[in-house]
Amino acid sequence: MPTFVYMTRCDGCGQCVDICPSDIMHMDSVVRRAYNIEPNMCWECYSCVKACPHNAIDVRGYADFAPLGHSVRVQRDEEKGVIAWRIIFRNGEKDMTLLAPITTKPWGQAIPQLADEAEPSQEMRDSQHLYNEPKYIRLDDGGLHTLESNGLKLKEGVYY
Amino acid sequence: MAFKTIIEDGIDILVAGAGLGGTGAAFEARYWGKDKKIVIAEKANIDRSGAVAQGLYAINCYMGTRFGENNPEDHVRYARIDLMGMVREDLLFDMARHVDSTVHQFEEWGLPLMRNPKTGAYQREGRWQIMIHGESYKPIVAEAAKKSADKVFNRICVTHLLMDESKPNRVAGAVGFNVRTGNYHVFKSKAVIVAAGGASNIYKPRSVGEGAGRVWYAPWSSGSAYGLLIGAGAKMTQMENRIVLARFKDGYGPVGAYFLHLKTYTQNCNGEEYESNWWPQLQEMVGKEYLDPEASHRTHRPIPTCLRNHALINEVNAGRGPIHMITMEAFQDPHLEEIGWHNFLGMTVGQAVLWAATDVDPKNENPELTTSEPYVMGSHATGCGAWCSGPEDISPPEYFWGYNRMTTVEGLFGAGDAAGGTPHAFSSGSFTEGRLAAKAACKYIDDGKAEGIRVTDEQIERRRAEIYKPMEHYRVYRNEITAGSVNPNYINPRQGLDRLQKLMDEYCGGVTVSYMTNEKLLNIGLKKMKIFEEDLEKIAAENIHELLRAWELKHRHLTSEAVMQHTLFRKETRWPGYYYRGDVMKVDDENWHVLTVSRRDPETGEYTMEKAPCYHLVEA
Ligand SMILES: Cc1cc2nc3c(=O)[nH]c(=O)nc-3n(C[C@H](O)[C@H](O)[C@H](O)COP(=O)(O)OP(=O)(O)OC[C@H]3O[C@@H](n4cnc5c(N)ncnc54)[C@H](O)[C@@H]3O)c2cc1C
Ligand code: SF4
Ligand code: SF4
């Protein structure tokens, strides 16, 4: 495998194909459902698993070292901004549920539209500052660090 | 073949590869170049691409100047000692003085950063690391890049940079193909920022068969940041400085949070502390300057990562493996146990899968550690990458040619893994470097340096033919055989990758030889590498997906050859634990306290090697 797709759950929507960073989730032209075309280039990154709207994708650990019979399932909810995991051990002795936040703000809205910002002055352009600096470096009045401001000077290069 | 040619003209800034470095570049470019045309070409889907695709549980580079924690020079000192002295301190200082502003923005964009309830400061994992809930790190920074770019081209594998035909050694854009449609894409651009990531899978991995994708750095990290730059004739630095990582066995789960935050520690199979046993012998090899356990203890100056690897490797070779991570104590605390598991789920799910599959519960059993195969990347605890200009207010003349993070090819910039000599940038530092490169690229264009760029149809056609050659080769020779993959006229990309990995492993210090090499081995390796290059001309791709793998392999090949050339050039063992030159098993500061710089002639493939001075900005 390591990812595989349950035949009865997949409806061929293509979301996994769209997201896989390794370009290995593809549509089977006969059954019109997704599958992993190159398991030995899969990182078990779970990007496709999280993207699938029907929970049709699962992972079976790498055959070279992982015995059968375990389960690590995930649900990622963008609206609520949380991700939920369930881990079940092979021997059934451990069954864990873990929850974590994925974002604290609604998607995209907190990101500034830089095209709408005031044009940077020539002085800013000539300086070493980046956007929103120096304010964003320390969030106080402190400016950018330079060698002089920090009492440093270049020691001679070693050249053999 | 019936693939369309799609030309995107009039681009000001092309960002090739949009992981952490590329997203930072696209974002910042919009501020300094409001009217500029900014285009992203990304091999996968920008929402989940690159090393951070599955997320991270820590931001590994944050000064915390705001909380009075560290100043940039402190980070320079740290990275310098960790890399046994060999870093570009100007670039490091520059990254470190800006990185906090990057992290503060991430928090504002919605990335959940943990805070220390007592101090109100970000929750530290270690001196430089802060803890995050980072499962959605990549989608969040991707939003920022998408909002800033004029166009994002997903699923474009960039194969070559275009060169200006009116002025030598000036970049003019890039070409590649869409891995889904197969269409040929031409990007004519005044400046290019390469942030296409480091190289996994150039060495034979410990995993085999179906599991071969279980490597530490993502299997899709094809060394394109290096392949593109080397192919264009940019000078590279420190390519010998590859990294080997101590990680949980098989799963490659991260150990940082375990050591630093959960306070776990390691033991050999007899339950003994073993590291310190190796220090006296190792001190003879590297000198007191680089390994002084007593001083380290007093000043909290860390022992370089590679030297700790050395102890682990040697302890195992002495027959006292496996090395265990002692988790059973820390995991009795339910809060710490939860953090331990989240750490994997947020960035290496495969490790959680492994423990569930093998019934290893770290609360009841101490898991095994081992060292990984080597990787080539410039943003973790290694400094491989392009030889770049530094910022004007810090850099000495040898390090400065006008535009921050510009390579030795005009108009061509590097960030993240692509920029050399800047280890310990990690995710936040890579994004910051992208921002720095973008500002400089805007300036380069505003200064009129990109005027009069010319790209002829001949160049575009030549590259087109080159790109699709593996498919053409397959078409021509496929029917000479009945069925199967054994053909006297070609090898396929997987077969080629297997050959490359074996070559690098056996001749250039991979895991099966305990990271050992020498001049003789390297010379044989380089000879075989040249022959391999001839075979790469005959690589065959059955479909567009294989064409992608073919080009990834070609970038991996260029990266590997540079690693071999550099390893041969530096006649010493500078980083025991990353690799050993068996014929010169010592650090030789008298002759090799220098940065190594290479250039591959794009026409002939010949290498020229030189030494560059290693400047120190700050007292130790
Ligand atoms: C397992 C692991 C754990 C890590 N842990 C941490 C951590 O805890 N904290 C931390 O701060 N950092 C961590 N890092 C480091 C961090 O991920 C990297 O430093 C950072 O992602 C490097 O950024 P980059 O832009 O150079 O490369 P990447 O982020 O890998 O981006 C490269 C991009 O280029 C694209 N690309 C590649 N080839 C081409 C091509 N030919 N054409 C077009 N596009 C291409 C890729 O698809 C990708 O999007 C970790 C890395 C790994 C792998
Ligand atoms: S787990 Fe990741 S690499 Fe594997 S198929 Fe899914 S998205 Fe692709
Ligand atoms: S995302 Fe799920 S349902 Fe859609 S094609 Fe993939 S496996 Fe099938």
Model confidence at A69: pLDDT above 90: yes
User: What ranges do the domains of chain A cover?
Assistant: 1-60, 67-112+120-160
Q: Which residues are B355's β-sheet partners?
A: none
User: Domain A1-60 - what CATH class?
Assistant: alpha beta
| Closest listed ligand to the CA of B57 | 1
From A122's Cα to the closest Cα of chain B, the distance in A is: 11
Q: Mutation target for B interface from A152, A153, A156: give the one with most B CBs within 10 A.
A: A152
**Structure-model confidence comparison of residues A85 and B261, the more confident one:** A85
**pLDDT for the residue A140:** 80
Q: Is B394 an 8 Å CB contact of chain A? A: yes
* Average pLDDT value for chain A: 94
Show the tokens assigned to B371.
């060292």
User: Alpha-carbon distance B49 to B154, whole Å?
Assistant: 10
Higher pLDDT, B230 or A159: B230
pLDDT band, residue B2 (cuts 50/70/90): confident
Query: Percent of chain B at pLDDT above 70?
Result: 99
pLDDT in tens, B510-568: 999 999 999 999 999 999 999 999 999 999 999 999 999 999 999 999 999 999 999 99
Going from the Cα of B53 to the center of ligand 2, the distance in angstroms, rounded, reads: 10
- Partner residues linked to B47 by β-bridges: none
CB B69 within 8 A of CB B116: no
Q: Does residue A153 register a pLDDT over 90?
A: no
Which residue is associated with the tokens 């004029």?
B150
Contact B580/A145 with Cβ under 8 angstroms?
Answer: no
B1 pLDDT above the threshold of 70? no
Q: What sign does the CA torsion over B91, B96, B100, B101 have?
A: negative
Q: Hey, what are B511's tokens?
A: 């895991």
CA A83-B105-B120 angle, to 5 degrees, is 75
Mean pLDDT of A26-40: 97
Answer yes or no: do A26 and B148 touch at CB < 8 A: no
Assess whether pLDDT exceeds 80 at residue B346: yes
Q: Is the dihedral of CA B96, B97, B100, B105 positive or negative?
A: negative
Strands B38-41 and B5-16: parallel
DSSP-assigned beta bridge partners for residue B188: B173
Whether the CB-CB separation of B237 and B386 falls below 8 Å is answered with yes
Q: Is B111 on the interface with A (CB under 8 A)?
A: yes
Please, what's the b/e burial string for B445-478 (b: 16 or more CB within 10 A of its CB; e: otherwise)?
Answer: beeebbeebebeeebbeebbeebbbbbebbeeee
- Choosing from A10, A31, A46, A55 the residue with most ligand 3 atoms within 8 A of its CB, the one to mutate for a pocket test is A10
Does the pLDDT at position A158 exceed 80? no
Find out whether B220 and B345 touch, Cβ atoms under 8 Å.
no
Report the chain A residue with the minimal C-alpha distance to residue B355: A89
Average pLDDT of chain B?
96
Q: Where are the beta strands (DSSP E) in B249-367?
A: 265-267, 323-326
Say what the pLDDT of residue B220 is: 98
Q: A55 to chain B nearest CA, in Å? A: 17
Cis peptide, bond prior to residue A2, ω within 30 of zero = yes
* Most ligand 3 atoms within 8 A of CB, residue of A1, A19, A33 to mutate: A33
B467 CB contacts (<8 Å, ≥6 apart)?
B159, B160, B175, B176, B177, B184, B547, B551
**pLDDT classification of B104: cutoffs 50, 70, 90:** very high
Give the whole-angstrom CA distance, residue B172 versus residue B272. Answer: 59
Residue B223 binned pLDDT confidence (cut-offs 50, 70, 90): very high
- Please give the average per-residue pLDDT across B175-181, as a whole number: 98
Residue of A nearest to B441 (CA): A125
How far is residue B162's CA from residue B186's CA, in Å, rounded to a whole number?
9
Give the pLDDT score at B3: 97
Of A47, A73, A99, A132, which to mutate for an interface test with B (greatest number of B Cβ within 10 Å)?
A: A47
Q: Do A100 and B346 touch (CB under 8 A)?
A: yes
B258-306 pLDDT tens trace? 998 899 999 999 999 999 999 999 999 999 999 998 877 666 678 999 9
Burial B88-101 (b: 16+ CB within 10 A, else e): bbbbbbbbbbbbbb
Is residue B245's pLDDT more than 90?
yes
Q: Which residues of B touch A119 (CB under 8 A)?
A: 34
**Cβ contact B315:B323 at 8 Å:** yes
| Distance from the B66 Cα atom to the nearest Cα atom in chain A, whole angstroms | 4
Whether residues A62 and B350 touch (CB distance < 8 A) is answered with yes
Mean pLDDT value across residues B358-367: 96
Beta bridge partners of B122: B115
d(CA B3, CA A137): 48
